[in-house]
Amino acid sequence: MSTVGLSADAVRALLDAVASGEISTGAALERLMWLPAEEVLDGDVAFARLDHHRALRQGIPEVVLADGKTIEQTLQICARLAARAGGFLATRVPADMMRALQAAYPAAQANPLARTVLLPSPGAQPLPGSRPVAVLSAGTSDLPVAEEAAVTAAAFGAAVRRVYDVGVAGLHRVAAAGASLREAGVVIVVAGMEGALPSVIGGLVAVPVIAVPTSVGYGASFQGLAALLGMLNSCAAGVTVVNIDNGFGAACAAIRILHASDCGP
């Protein structure tokens, strides 16, 4: 079960309540009617259509990308998610918007480094039986992307192990990550510059490795393109690569992998 969003267990509980007579079929229908999508209006125009069924289909609920949205739009979307799912996760949240969300939701967990705001759903449970997600960063400058990945994975119910500043400029530092690497079910490796760390980690572990190139680096890094190309050309077989600075996408991929491994053959 994820820590934000509607789950299959929530729908099952609703159906059980109907079967036991705790609630009427009409009340259950009213709650289910808006599950597939809910329009958020500005006057007569819908500026958002919330996908309340996403967690049922994918195991991962809809998340609010705050970048490009106004504060009012984000507040309205988060209010709908909180009312129906009990919580929300917002990513790429600017500082002024973060303050507005914290004022509206005092229980929300704001992470300025990751630029995330998380309002956990009440009674949320971790992913059952899953091994942790290890999040490694090559350098301290990569932490905003690494933290986005870590917060997202934790929000979706994964145990997270953070191992930061273990880049190839000092390979002996990777040894300190030994226990976290051995325990992990998935490893997310975040690196800028030449993007070499995922190849190193890919040669050390048997579990899936998800590489995240960052836009950290000097001129010839081309805002992360050099790291992206380096990771795509990794000599470690089976390393998977997401887009530049996409810690969120890496965490979603990790959660899908954990879900698949929990389902068994």
Token pair for residue 89? 């996760």
Specify the higher pLDDT residue, 228 or 47: 228
CA distance linking residue 150 with residue 66, whole number of Å: 18
Closest CA to 50 of 88, 77, 10: 77
Domains in the chain: ranges and CATH = 1-10+37-125 (no CATH), 133-263 (3.40.50.1970)
pLDDT digits (tens, 9 = 90+) for 131-186: 999 999 999 999 999 999 999 999 999 999 999 999 998 888 888 778 888 899 99
Q: What is the dihedral of CA 95, 101, 105, 110, to 10 degrees?
A: -30
One-letter amino acid at 56 equals L
Band of pLDDT at residue 198, cut at 50, 70 and 90: very high
pLDDT at position 58: 74
Q: For residue 7, count other CB atoms closer than 10 A to its CB.
A: 21
Determine which of 39-48, 81-90, 109-118 has the lowest per-residue pLDDT on average. 39-48
Q: What is the pTM of this model?
A: 0.84
Band of pLDDT at residue 262, cut at 50, 70 and 90: low
Closest CA to 212 of 183, 176, 253, 169: 253
Biggest alpha carbon distance in the chain? 66
pLDDT digits (tens, 9 = 90+) for 4-36: 445 567 778 888 999 999 989 888 877 766 566
pLDDT digits (tens, 9 = 90+) for 87-126: 999 999 999 999 999 999 999 999 999 999 999 988 677 7
